[in-house]
Amino acid sequence: MNSFYDFIKNNKKNLITKYEIYLDVYERHLSKYKGKTVKIIEFGVNQGGSLNMWKEYFGEGTKIYGVDINPNCAKLAADNIEILIGDQEDRSFLKSVADTIGEVDIIVDDGGHSMRQQKNTFEEIFSCLKDDGVYICEDLHTSYWRRHGGGYKRRGTFIEYSKNFIDMLNAWNAKKYSRLKVSDFTKTVQSIHYYDSMIVLEKGKHEKIKTISTGEMMVDHYKIPKKNIFIRLWRAIFG
């Protein structure tokens, strides 16, 4: 199998349904693991189609954990595929999942897609990710859907929650704000990628940014003239 797209196109076994753009996103962020011995956990098993996809794409040595609330999914367990049954909203279940899986390379949340499920899963399972691991949460459009607890700029949606990741990533640059502290997240997350309905977090060592400067000055500096104080005041008040 060359690509995720190849897999879906040729799949005749367990049902799999994915938004097409996800396949490009997987390729972009997960191809580095191809042919390597990876450990992956996916929340949301359904018919087991994506479990087969991970196995075929990464290779036989891949260790896969599938988590689902549906006890019938247990029968999809196979060589190197372990199925854990429980509710991803339940923090005590998630803690037991974390104990079982230890460290993993990839975490994919394609479960029930409610706000609390996505948030609790992130908070309890993100720490299982290896230092260079990848976290993917899918179907973020539910953050805009009422029946999943969503709404535009509604407090508590996963989209609104994840916007804080942007501040956390930049905390080295905002030291004067006591509410924004450099955290483990700041030190271990290198990048955040938003796609339509999807967020991808890439872990990696993240220190305070440093400049690098080489070469010669070719142009004199330009002193930007200060604007008239009255104009600035007028603009500040009246926009």
Ligand X SMILES: C[S@@+](CC[C@H](N)C(=O)[O-])C[C@H]1O[C@@H](n2cnc3c(N)ncnc32)[C@H](O)[C@@H]1O
Q: Which of 28, 72, 83 is nearest to 50 (CA)?
A: 83
What's the min distance (Å) between Cβ of 65 and ligand X? 12
Among 81, 89, 94, 188, binds ligand X (CB under 6 A): 89
Q: In Å, how far from its chain's centre is CA 59? A: 22
- When the beta carbons of 33 and 185 are compared against ligand X, the nearer one is 33
Bridge partners, 6 (sequence order): none
CB of 45 to ligand X, least distance (A): 5
Report if residue 69 touches ligand X, rule: CB under 6 A: yes
Minimum CB distance to ligand X smaller for 27 or for 87: 87
Nearer to ligand X by C-beta: 112 or 149?
112
Question: Considering only residues 188-217, where is the footprint of ligand X by CB under 6 A?
Answer: none
115-134 positions binding ligand X, by CB under 6 A: 117
How far CA 154 is from CA of 78, 120, 151, in Å, comes to 41, 18, 5
Contact between 197 and 140 (Cβ < 8 Å): yes
Burial class (CB in 10 A: 0-12, 13-18, 19+), 75: exposed
Q: Is 112 a binder of ligand X (CB under 6 A)? A: yes
Q: How far is the CB of 67 from ligand X (least distance, A)?
A: 6
Q: Residue 205: which residues within 8 A CB-CB, separation 6 or more?
A: 131, 187, 188, 190
Output the CA torsion 10→15→20→21 (10° steps).
Answer: -120
Is 88 an interacting residue with respect to ligand X (CB under 6 A)?
A: yes
Distances (CA, A) of 215 to 6, 150, 211, 212, 220: 47, 51, 14, 11, 14
Which segment (54-62, 111-119, 170-178, 197-205) binds ligand X by CB under 6 A?
111-119
Beta carbon of residue 129, minimum distance to ligand X (angstroms, whole number)? 18
Site for ligand X in 15-54 (CB under 6 A): 16, 18, 42-47, 49-50
Q: What is the DSSP letter of 220?
A: -
Q: Residue 70, interface with ligand X (CB under 6 A)?
A: yes
Site of interaction with ligand X (CB under 6 A): 16, 18, 42-47, 49-50, 67-70, 87-89, 110-112, 117
